[in-house]
Amino acid sequence: MEAGELRQNAVDPSQNAYTRIAGAWLRGQGVLIALILVFLFGVWRYGDKFTSDFNLWTLAKNNTYFALIALGMTFVIMTGGIDLSVGAVVALSAVTAARLSPHGLWIALSAAIAVGLIVGVINGGIISIFKVQPFIVTLALLLGARGAALNLSNNASVSVDYASNYKDLWNTTIGVVPLPVVIVIVAYLLGSVMLNLTRFGRHILAIGGNEEAARLAGLPLNRTLFFVYLLSGGLAGLAGALLAAQGNTGSPIAAVGWELTAIAAVVVGGTLLTGGRGSVWTTLVGVLLLGLIFNELNFERGKGIFDLTQYWEEVIRGLFLLIVIILQSRLTNTARVTRSM
Amino acid sequence: MSEHPPTPPGSQDVLLEMRDIVKVFPGVVALDHARLTVMKGEVHAIVGQNGAGKSTLMKVLNGAYRKDGGTIVLDGREVDFITPHQAQVGGISTIYQEINLVPFRSVAENIFMGREPRRFGLIDWPRMNREAREILAHFGIQLDVKQPLLNLNVALQQMVAIARAVSFGSKLVIMDEPTSSLDEREVATLFDAIHRLKASGVSVIYISHRLDELHEVGDNITIMRDGQTIEETSLASVSKLEIVARMLGKNIGELRREGTTGFAERKVDIESAPFYRAAHIEAEPVLRDASVELRKGEILGLSGLLGSGRTELARILFGADKPDQGSLTLDGKPSPIASPRDAIREGIGYCSEDRKAEGIIPEMSVRENLTLAALPTLTKNGIIDPNEQQAIVDRFVALLSIKTSDVEQPISQLSGGNQQKVLLARWLCLNPRLLLLDEPTRGIDVGAKAEIHHLIETLADEGMSVLMITSEIEEIVEGSNRVTVLRDGQTVAEFDRAQIGQDAIIAAMAEGSDPMPDTVEV
Amino acid sequence: MSSVTSQLSSRSLSLTDLVRKSSQTERALFALIVLSLYNAFFTTNFLTVATLRVNLTQVATIVIVAVGMTFVIGSGGIDLSVGALMAISGALAPKIFTSQWGPLSNEWIGIPLAIVIPVLVAGAFGYFNGYLITKFSIQPIIATLVLFLGGRGIAKALSDGNLVEFNTPHFSYIGRGRPLGVPVQVILMIVIVIVAVWALRSTTFGRYVLAIGGNERAAELAGVPVTRVKRQIYVLCGLLAGLAGLIVVAINTSSDPYQVGDGMELDAIAAVAVGGTPLTGGHATVAGTVIGAFFIHQVRYTLISHGVPDGTTRMVIAAAILVAVLLQRPKAGWR
């Protein structure tokens, strides 16, 4: 039994503090506790200004587009892939939505999602059929989608038609809840159902966890990969539509580097970058956690105690990414050892 | 050797019949009219040396490879599966040595992967978990089926793989070296599961090198060698000794023909004191108590069946792996070797048994492969001296008569024998004092084999030590000054020159019995 | 090219045969020549010294970064962070030579330091990449993702997100100087390419890089110091990216943390892939990379000089890269 115990211990989180932290974080508890602590810190330090309806709803609304691209990215990363094109897709669909806003909300919104889906089809098609590494395909599409956005906008920001009802997308509230927040909640509900209650969702995790095993089990590998990138493109398209509605404009140079925001939120939420493990709701918690941290940094700046410019945000996200990647490497390496035996 | 399989009690009891199976890879005939007959509800053992064709035969059966000839009849119908998944649906499941499940997913999910039960289009978790629990309970196993697979030890993971096979309604389960990383208690669990499979009418093909196990669980046995089926018989009628002899292509008591290898008989006993010793080495999951010692100018044959820990021990001697327990002594001091680089610095070289994965750099030329380990000695300030490099290459290409049209040719285009010579030269040009050779003549034609034998001998005569791991008993018998035999990760016997004999070595490999009362204490 | 010409002379020859049998490097060279011929006939002023000089000036940074990427990819890795490292180095340099602090205000100290320190810093970030990859066994794509995504933030933070303009001719020399009529960065490019070709062929380091890319386990067993060499590779790639970043800000006489090195990782990877170095490692050709970089640049130049909008240009290049990668992919069903 010694051998068995040894191997069990290899992944037993009680082994040492390092793996324990990694394990707890990845079970999704860590990120939720962190979110609560950061929130309580905000309540304690910034008081009513922080807990005001205005601040909290603005915070929620301004993170809706991140939440959408992070949701798509969650599925992509679960398969062991990556989608670097989402930021450019957001810009492209924002421009598309702004251009078509005179035709009304539904046409503009549908078109914005459609261009996202088209990029997703190209990404997913090349990755699943030709087996090219996802990073290079989506990196090329980052360039291509950005180019399309520049073309479509004649290299300048496109204003949303003020006469149209497009603004409703951003300003409508259902009860007290703004429409964008409702959209995000519905998207995450659907995403969660899909991941947990459909074969497609389970196959995403199986493929990322052990592609060879998935192949031997006869899972539809190509189809699953294709739809994952399609989904990511479509959600990025939706995010772009929201962005256009928020700023009343579609800018071809918007959303640069948003892939970082999405990837950081996904891994902070506990989804393994190497694939096979993760959850939808913790990604949302990851988005909120990062959003909250930057919100509080803003308050801190307002207090004038220390002044980190907004440009440090990227660095901080990068640091989060770094820490989680290192923590994850420990866990995936142990899992690899277990598997190879 | 019987020409025909044991007469089946009634042809309706035959589950699987593979006839005249041929499989050709570029340059190699892997299966040469091989044959296999499995009865319903029996445990059928297959044994054979590395390269005998067992794995290829199983891959042809389960759809991983397409056969080039022959017929497969399963349950009275001719079948030809194109993918392992199709074979699984058709009733043949394979439990791989490397467990092919998804570690992060739950036990139940792994059992039902690809066939998750659904209700209204959505996965019916309660039913999936309940049915998973029931299947496992059938094997007397109770565990939380919602936990991720990686929480389980290897034996239980295997049970999950078996449960998955059963849930497919498999008629035949192939197990490839299922006990290679299990301890005794885990093996007992596995055997219990095999008995239950048998009781429910499922047949099992059991591939293993642990001969004790075969007799414990197996009914019939198929022995393979060189892509052919050598013998099909009932396990009760053969002894372990006979099995090993058949695998190696020997008859017990048969007169040894001399000169079957390129070795002249090693007449001398090497008296010098050992300079490198490994004592009581333990390393998960194979080595339990392995000891070996090496003397200057000798060829030490390291013998044992596949899975006995020969390669693992050699890798530890070379610093490529670290032992969990035990001591290494070099020149009377604790060994400073912690990496292959250290070993090379101490004058030790290692040729892996897997030339392709651990030997050659395929895209690089013969010249570069040959001098890869010697680069530090050929450089000044990191710059390679092309003349010196060329001189070394020319010398060794001539010395080992490496056949290559051009030393700039990529090594992957050379024949196996010439690749092996290049890899030997990689070490020889460093003038090492110890060479660890793991299956140095595997997959090499007869002529090149004899040349390599002769070369090893010459080197030893010039004072180099050689540790030679080989599955070919003639090489051990004719080529070694001394022989150490490993069995199940333990050193079970040592033979001096005078005691080296084919029968004694086979006996030690098979049964671990030590004909010499005085096992060398290391 | 020799096999291309010899095949052209053979009788029964189909275009598909030609594409299949030629090496990727030959195909890239052929495409480059075709494109140049097209430009010679249809693009005004293409065959002038001024245009040649401009083209060389612009391609130099791609070549310099792509040479580093060639070593990385040859070892079986990838470095997504090069563009961000260029931005960091480009943001750092003006900080140093515009500094009024003591000795730095002296041009003879400030400018050399403004060249050396940013390059070294970029090299240090390269070491960080290599450290993550070797110490924690993180896949290169994931490890370099950290700086690819976060690195530009460092550059923005260094310059508060502002475009920094300067007028320091002695610094700008590395982007604008022309000894004997040849731009300085072209000289740098030539020197780097020659050294890289030599290093890949004739040094232990070069051989170790390819041995690791070809078969890491075999290399380790042959005594190759895999960890050390891998870290050196990423340091090298970082140093070259740092240098390229300096050249870009020197040309522009300004440093824009958003623009410097933007998209360079794709250009560099594409140049390497188009030039015939397989993305799986084990084989590398610096000459091919140079051809690849010239090809990518020439495509861009051709489109822009014919008035094709920037957006379309990007889309065409993206498509070209995908085609190159698809062509390079191992033959289907050849496993």
**Contact status of A143 with chain C (Cβ, < 8 Å):** yes
**Interface test mutation site (partner A, options B58, B81, B150, max chain A beta carbons within 10 A):** B150
Which DSSP symbol is given to B12? G
Homologous superfamily, domain B269-347+439-446+467-522: P-loop containing nucleotide triphosphate hydrolases (3.40.50.300)
All residue ranges of chain B with pLDDT < 50 are: 1-11, 255, 514-522
Using the predicted structure, report yes or no on whether residue C16 has a pLDDT greater than 70: no
Q: Terminal CA-to-CA distance of chain B, rounded, Å?
A: 41
In chain A, how many H helices and how many E strands? 16, 4
Q: With b meaning 16 or more CB within 10 Å and e meaning fewer, what string describes A227-265?
A: bbbbbbbbbbbbbbbbbbbbbbbbbbebbbbbbbbbbbb
Which residues in chain A (294-333) have CB-CB distances under 8 A to chain C? 309-319, 321-322, 325-326, 329-330, 333
Q: The domain spanning residue A322 has which CATH number? A: 1.10.3470
C142 to chain A: which residues are within 8 Å by CB? 273-274, 325
> Which of B102, B106, B184, B324 is most worth mutating to test chain A (most A CB atoms within 10 A of its CB)?
B102
Cα of B386 to nearest chain C Cα, Å? 8
Q: Which chains neighbour C (Cβ–Cβ under 8 Å, 3 or more pairs)?
A: A, B
Alpha helix (H) residue ranges in B201-262: 211-217, 240-248
pLDDT score, position C188:
94
The residues near B378 (Cβ < 8 Å, ≥ 6 apart) are B371, B384, B385, B388, B389, B392
Chain C residue with CA closest to A311: the answer is: C157
Touching subunits for chain B (3+ Cβ pairs under 8 A): A, C
List Cβ neighbours of A63 (8 Å cut-off, separation of 6 or more): A287, A288, A291
Q: Do A319 and C314 touch (CB under 8 A)?
A: no
Question: What residue has token string 């820990």?
Answer: B309
- Neighbouring C-beta atoms of residue B322, cutoff 10 Å: 11
Residue pointed to by tokens 């499941």 = B93
> Would residue A6 count as lying in a domain?
no
How many angstroms separate the Cα of A52 from the Cα of each of A55, A109, A297, B507?
5, 31, 17, 84
In chain B, positions 136-155, which contact chain A (CB-CB < 8 Å)? 150-155
- Given CATH 3.50.50.60, say whether it is the number of domain B1-82+208-248: no
Q: Do A339 and B99 touch (CB under 8 A)?
A: yes
Find, in chain C, the residue whose alpha carbon is nearest to that of B424. C222
Q: List Cβ neighbours of B174 (8 Å cut-off, separation of 6 or more).
A: B58, B61, B62, B92, B93, B94, B95, B204, B205, B207
Answer yes or no: is A26 within a domain.
no
- Per residue in A309-324, pLDDT tens? 777 888 888 888 888 8
- Run of H or E including B23: strand B14-25
> Which residue did the predictor score with more confidence, C101 or A118?
A118
Give me the percent of chain C exceeding a pLDDT of 90: 43
Contacts of B372 in chain C (CB under 8 A): 207, 211, 219, 222-224
Tell me the mean pLDDT in the region C214-224.
Answer: 92
Is the preceding omega at residue B84 within 30 degrees of 0, hence cis? no
- Residue B344 in contact with partner chain C when CB distance is under 8 A: yes
So what's the pLDDT on residue B512? 67
Judged by a CB distance cut-off of 8 A, whether residue B285 touches chain A is yes
Q: Which helix (H) or strand (E) holds B460?
A: helix B446-461
Q: With CB atoms and an 8 Å threshold, state whether A199 touches B118.
A: yes
- Encode pLDDT of C295-318 as tens digits: 999 998 898 888 888 889 889 989
Mutate one of A92, A139, A222, A334 to test the C interface: name it (highest C CB count within 10 A): A139
Tell me the H-state helices in B349-402.
Answer: 355-358, 366-371, 375-378, 386-399
Question: What residues of B are in contact with residue C211 (Cβ under 8 Å)?
Answer: 361, 364, 368, 372
Q: Average pLDDT of A130-139? A: 89
- Whole-number CA gyration radius for chain B: 25
Tokens at residue B314, please? 């050699």
Do C259 and C83 contact (CB within 8 A), yes or no? Answer: no
φ and ψ at C300, to 5 degrees? -60, -45
Residue A323 lies in a domain: yes
Of A140, A326, A329, the CB nearest to C322: A140
- State the DSSP H helix or E strand holding residue B172, giving kind and residue range, or none if neither: strand B172-176
Q: B-chain residues within 8 Å CB-CB of C24? A: none
Taking an 8 Å cut-off on Cβ atoms, the answer to whether C204 and B364 are in contact is no
Strand pairing category for B325-330 and B274-283 = antiparallel
Specify the range with the lowest mean pLDDT, choosing from A18-22, A97-101, B280-284, C93-97: A18-22
Cβ-based contacts of A131 with chain C (< 8 Å): 329
Share of chain C above pLDDT 70, in %: 90
- Least CB-CB distance to C150: which of A144, A155, A314? A314
pLDDT higher than threshold 70 for residue C335: no
Please report where in the chains the tokens 């690809």 appear, as a residue: B114
Quick check: A5 and B183 in contact, CB under 8 A?
Answer: no
In tens, the pLDDT along C239-274 reads 999 999 999 999 988 889 888 988 899 899 999 988
Higher pLDDT, A24 or B242: B242
The 3-state secondary structure of C23-48 reads CHHHHHHHHHHHHHHHHHHHCCCCCC
C30-39 confidence digits (pLDDT tens): 888 888 888 8
> C280 or A193: which carries more pLDDT confidence?
A193
**Is the CB of C321 less than 8 angstroms away from the CB of A140?**
yes
Helix (H, G, I), strand (E, B) or coil at B281: strand
Residues of C with CB under 8 A from a CB of B: 202-205, 207-208, 210-211, 214-215, 217-225, 282-283
Binary contact (C221, B384; C-beta < 8 A): no
Residue B376 sits at the chain C interface (C-beta within 8 Å): yes
Shortest distance, CA C213 to any CA of chain B (angstroms): 9
Q: Which residue of A has its CA nearest to B181?
A: A341
Q: Does the beta-carbon distance from C152 to A257 stay under 8 Å?
A: yes
- pLDDT value, residue C14: 62
Confidence at residue C7, expressed as pLDDT on a 0 to 100 scale: 42
Would you state the structure tokens that stand for residue C198, as one six-digit string?
A: 């030599």
Task: Name every chain A residue with its beta carbon within 8 A of the beta carbon of C258.
Answer: 256
Hey, are the CB atoms on A217 and B83 less than 8 Å from each other? no
Q: A121-125, A231-235, A319-323, C199-203: lowest mean pLDDT where?
A: A319-323
pLDDT at residue A9 is higher than 80: no
Nearest CA in chain C to A147: C311
pLDDT digits (tens, 9 = 90+) for C112-150: 888 999 999 999 999 999 999 999 888 898 899 899 888
Place of tokens 């070099």: B330
Query: Where residue A10 falls among pLDDT bands split at 50, 70, 90?
Result: very low
What ranges in A198-220 are assigned the alpha helix state H? 199-209, 211-216
Output DSSP code: residue A257.
Answer: T
| pLDDT value at residue C139 | 86
Query: How many DSSP H helices and E strands does chain B contain?
Result: 18, 24
Query: Over the stretch C152-209, which tens digit does the pLDDT of each residue have?
Result: 889 988 888 788 888 888 788 887 888 887 888 999 999 999 999 999 999 999 999 9
Distance from the Cα of residue C210 to its chain's centroid? 18
pTM: 0.84
CA-based nearest distance B419→chain C, Å: 13
For the record, the structure tokens of A258 come out as: 């948003």
CB contact under 8 A, B102 and A219: no
Report the distance separating Cα C74 and Cα A6, nearest Å: 38
Question: Could you tell me which of A256, A279, A262 has the C-alpha nearest to residue A317?
Answer: A262
- Chain A: residue whose CA lies nearest to C317: A144
- Phi/psi region, residue B182 (left: phi>0; alpha: psi -120 to 50; beta: rest), is beta
Give the pLDDT score at A20.
Answer: 57
Residue of A6 and A174 predicted with greater confidence: A174
φ, ψ dihedrals at B152, nearest 5°:
-90, 155
Q: Give the model's pLDDT for residue C192.
A: 96
User: Nearest by CB to B357, which of C204, C217, C283?
Assistant: C217
CA dihedral sign of residues C110, C116, C119, C124: negative
CATH 3.40.50.300 residue ranges for chain B: 1-82+208-248, 269-347+439-446+467-522
Residue-level pLDDT at C324: 82
Residue A218 has a pLDDT of 86
Disruptive mutation site among B99, B104, B143, B164 for chain A (greatest number of A CBs within 10 Å):
B104
The predicted structure's pLDDT at residue C119: 96
* Residues in C touching A126 (Cβ below 8 Å): 322, 326
Model confidence at A337, in pLDDT bands (50, 70, 90)? Answer: very low
Q: Rounded to whole angstroms, what are the CA distances from B68 to A50, B25, B33, B56?
A: 74, 10, 10, 12
Question: What pLDDT sits at residue C42?
Answer: 84
Highest mean pLDDT out of A281-290, B92-101, C16-25: A281-290
Cβ contacts (< 8 Å) between A312 and chain C: which residues?
Answer: 153, 157
Q: Are A216 and B100 in contact (CB under 8 A)?
A: yes
Count of CA atoms in the C-beta half-sphere (13 A) of A285: 25
State phi, psi for B375 to the nearest 5 degrees. -50, -45
Q: What stretch of H or E contains B73? A: strand B69-74
Shortest CA gap A14–chain B (Å): 13
Pick from B451, B475, B437, B363: nearest CA to B402 = B451
Indicate the SS3 state at residue B89.
helix
